[in-house]
Amino acid sequence: MKFLIAPDSFKGSLTAKEVAQAIKAGIERVYPQAEYRLVPMADGGEGTVQSLVDATAGRLLTKHVTGPLGTTVAAQYGILGDGQTAVIEMAQASGIQYVNEQTKNPLVTTTYGTGELILDALDQGIKKIILGIGGSATNDGGAGMAQALGFRLQDKNNQELAFGGGALNRLDHIESQEADPRLQETTILIASDVTNPLTGENGAAAVFGPQKGASAADVAVLDHNLHHYANIVKRDLGKDLEHTAGAGAAGGLGMGLLAFTQAQMARGIDLVIEFTHLKQQAQGVDFVFTGEGGIDFQTKFGKTPFGVAKATKEVTPTAPVIVLAGNVGENIDSLYGSAAMDAIFATPAGVKDLDQAIADGKHDIAQTAENIARLLKATRTQQ
């Protein structure tokens, strides 16, 4: 018997690796001699660094960088087991967790620290970077990142712009002569499912600005400034990106990466599937177990269990896909059939509050996996 176990993390409770180990522990009580293939997963958001490092036997590095408010923060990123690929979550350097209700202000927050993480990866000899861009505190169009990478963003007096989206209206020209030359030889894969353009009613400022602290007046200023910024990028770098799908991700960092680096957009789950070699691991298995903290109808829009189900069914269509979740939400019927999921189970044992559910997470996941395995064994015995 062969089991592929490929879950996402249970946010706030267990890492993807810990979830996979708990599922294995439960099944192993019933099938102690089975073969187990554990592949920690993610979808490009929080936990992607840890999952890819765990799945590829890579390593974590910590770098002190400039946070969104200009203060120093400790940020982690990973180098995968191949030694050639880095994985970075921009939120580690420029994330919303570094601001609060009093300090969040996209007029001044910067992506400079994200650029510093990219530079550190280049110093490690990296030639390919997977960059997850969710959870940002910024709306600067990636200007801060570009400044960290050596681009000079200057006003009409040849003075460097201050940090933040509020300063972009003063941008007069971009100088590229001092940009790090290694960027030309480095591929950056942007892990993002966001398709918003840079500006307009669906743009970075209008859609994401308010949750980062922007008032209605601030949104108008930021949108105007990003439009001006895009025009300067088009003139000086020859890249027309204002209306490109995904340019508005992470407060316009999507556009900044496309403008200043050799970057391309990709769905987060697709990148994780590729770099964990999930399809190869799925060949010849009898059952696939996946999951994440919460499952509902939105799971089929690029979340980990959906990606795992579709990918594994492509190579082993007869292997049932069993999904475990800390919370099972609405309209999960839509996840069966075309979504390639065969069964969905909630893991909490009994009624309990969130804190208790988190504390019991590992035990409950293992117990649920054991119960499922016992059913599988009984069913197979009767056939």
CATH assignment of the domain containing 333: 3.40.50.10350
Q: The domain that contains 158 carries what CATH number? A: 3.90.1510.10
Segment 322-338, tens digit of pLDDT = 999 998 988 888 888 77
Contact 362, 326 (CB under 8 A): no
The whole-number pLDDT of residue 381 equals 67
Structural domain count, the chain: 2
Same domain, 25 and 107: no
> Has residue 33 been placed in a domain?
yes
Q: Where are the alpha helices (DSSP H) in 29-172?
A: 48-56, 90-94, 112-123, 143-148
Of 269, 301, 324, the residue at which a domain comes to its end is: 269
Same domain, 230 and 299: no
Of 269, 298, 314, the residue at which a domain comes to its end is: 269
Of 235, 269, 303, the residue at which a domain comes to its end is: 269
Give the pLDDT mean for 238-246. Answer: 96
Residues 6+ apart with CB under 8 A from 59: 53, 78, 79
Residue 42's alpha-carbon distances to 205, 209, 249, 268, 292, in angstroms, are 27, 26, 18, 8, 9
Q: Which H or E element spans position 328?
A: strand 321-328
How many Cβ atoms sit within 10 Å of the Cβ of residue 138? 35
Give the pLDDT mean for 131-150. Answer: 96
The whole-number pLDDT of residue 382 equals 60
Closest CA to 24 of 58, 57, 1, 50: 1
Same domain, 69 and 127: yes
Same domain, 6 and 128: no
Percent of the chain with pLDDT over 90: 84
Same domain, 238 and 349: no
> Has residue 274 been placed in a domain?
no
Answer yes or no: is pLDDT of 146 > 70. yes
Same domain, 52 and 184: yes
Q: CA–CA separation, 90 vs 177, rounded Å?
A: 25
The two three-digit tokens of residue 309, written as one number: 């189900």
Same domain, 121 and 139: yes
CA-based torsion, 106, 112, 117, 121: positive or negative: positive
The whole-number pLDDT of residue 174 equals 98
Q: What is the mean pLDDT of the chain?
A: 94
With H, G, I as helix, E, B as strand and everything else as coil, classify residue 52.
Answer: helix
At 82, the amino acid letter reads D
Q: Percentages helix, strand, coil for the chain, rounded to the nearest 5?
A: 45, 20, 35
**pLDDT: is 239 or 193 the higher one?**
239
Residues 6+ apart with CB under 8 A from 194: 133, 134, 246, 248, 249, 250, 254
* Lowest-confidence segment of 89-98, 303-312, 356-365 by average pLDDT: 356-365
Half-sphere exposure of 360 toward its Cβ, with a 13 Å CA cutoff?
Answer: 15
Range of the domain at 99: 48-269
Same domain, 304 and 361: yes
Residues 6+ apart with CB under 8 A from 161: 143, 147, 153, 154, 155, 167, 168, 170, 171
Same domain, 31 and 81: no
At 210, the amino acid letter reads P
Give the pLDDT mean for 329-358. Answer: 84
Percent of the chain with pLDDT over 70: 99
Same domain, 235 and 334: no
> Has residue 90 been placed in a domain?
yes
The whole-number pLDDT of residue 383 equals 53
Same domain, 225 and 291: no
Q: CA–CA separation, 216 vs 15, rounded Å?
A: 38
Position 359 confidence tier, pLDDT thresholds 50, 70, 90: confident
Answer yes or no: is pLDDT of 248 > 90. yes
